[in-house]
A = this chain, B = another copy of it.
């Protein structure tokens, strides 16, 4: 591309990973996210978002998925680019740094799986310590984006298993949006959207009428990202690092090399 060399501008990819977790067994679940303890200056000892440099032959979303895998051992249920941060002052006492940040949703059971590690810990999303760099602001923005997207998109199932009840799905919405939803109206809305398919099974064992299990309808595109078609949504069979296109669902993703060195 013959664009000017990036001089001393380093490029990194970080990921904000959300999962639902209930502190007490029967308590309402809330949003949690994993942070990693920094071992170098600046901000040594502080908690920070998982991330690191981009590998030479790796796409941006692939790097984010790798962050996720290395931090939680999981594949993303949903993954979308959040923003590129490049303020000249964002990295004190270190060189200039531009970070492309992704956000992801994973299944709830991820939270306990990795809590044994001492350098990785899950925190409640609305009760974070003071993080390294501008990561507090990043998480705030990721939360804002998640809440917005939850209202007009159909990504909640990414925080659940293959099948789920409408109650479970509603709990995801309630936890993210932090407000109770009418079960009756919620049912009608998701049924009208066509995003779910009823299975034949029900869940017995509760001391009440057994709820039906639903499955996500893959025929429906849940993310309205326009012309973009990002990637490792669900387990994409073997398309390892096929695409780095931005997520076409929300106004944030699109893939294009905009090099222009003339002018």
A170 within 8 A of B: no
Asked if A82 lies at the interface with its beta carbon under 8 angstroms from chain B, I say yes
Residue numbers in B under 8 Å from A100 (CB-CB): 84, 86, 98, 100, 258
Question: Which chain B residue has the least Cβ–Cβ distance from A2?
Answer: B40
A85 CB-CB contact with B under 8 Å:
yes
Are B14 and A258 in contact, with the CB atoms below 8 A?
yes
The answer to whether B85 and A257 touch across the interface, beta carbons within 8 angstroms, is: yes
Smallest CB separation, A131 vs chain B (Å): 9
Tell me whether A158 is interfacial, beta carbon within 8 Å.
no
Q: Is A161 an interface residue (CB 8 A)?
A: no
Assembly stoichiometry (copies): 2
Q: Determine the chain B residues whose CB is within 8 A of the CB of A99 once the complex forms.
A: 256-259
Contacting residues, chain B, for A57 (C-beta < 8 A): 88
Point out residues on A near B: beta carbons under 8 Å.
Answer: 1-15, 36-42, 48-54, 56-60, 67, 70-71, 81-88, 90-91, 94-101, 119, 133-135, 137-138, 140-142, 144-145, 148-149, 226-228, 241, 243-246, 248, 250-263
Q: Would you list 19 pairs from A and B whose C-beta atoms are within 8 A, ordered by A residue?
A: A1-B91, A1-B133, A3-B12, A6-B11, A50-B263, A51-B259, A54-B86, A59-B88, A60-B84, A86-B244, A87-B255, A88-B244, A133-B258, A141-B246, A141-B248, A142-B254, A145-B251, A251-B252, A252-B252
